[in-house]
Amino acid sequence: MMTRRLAWQCLAAAGMATAGVSRTEEHDYARRIFARINELRELHGAVALRWSEAVAACAKEQSVRKVELRFPGHDDPERGDVAQRLHSAGIDWGRCGENIFMERGWDDPVNFAVVFWWYSPGHQENMLNPEYTESGVGLAQGSDGTWFVTQIFVNPVPPGVRVRR
């Protein structure tokens, strides 16, 4: 289990920010967040999530829109909540959830996002929920250095089951 001391050590190791990273670095951050969430799931008896490119693209789009519009919360004023956004992207799901995170001042947002989610009961519930089997993470950084991180969790609809749209 991650202790508060370990959490702060992780944050200190992350370093302070310098804005402007490449798409490759953003993708690396996304995969590192995903890997860390899976480590925590396995430590707590949940099966590791599978990476979904489609879900990651939806998460990335949400983070980019947060940079552009700076709206609060989970609901995009034009695209709706996570369920509506997944539906619009053509992603079928039986259950879905979303963790979002925003911070400015750290060069590497990976550990900070994971620690923040870990100590928030609702976010931790999404991270450890055994009903979720797939996930994707997307990040975007504003010109002011602010990071927006979105992780979407889904339980895909089983093959052969029709989804009403």
pLDDT digits (tens, 9 = 90+) for 73-114: 887 888 889 999 999 999 999 999 999 999 998 778 999 999
Distance, in Å, from the CA atom of 34 to the CA atom of 101, rounded to the nearest integer, reads 14
Whole-structure pTM value? 0.83
pLDDT of residue 150: 97
Distance, in Å, from the CA atom of 93 to the CA atom of 144, rounded to the nearest integer, reads 35
Strand stretches in the chain, DSSP E: 50-51, 95-103, 134-141, 147-155
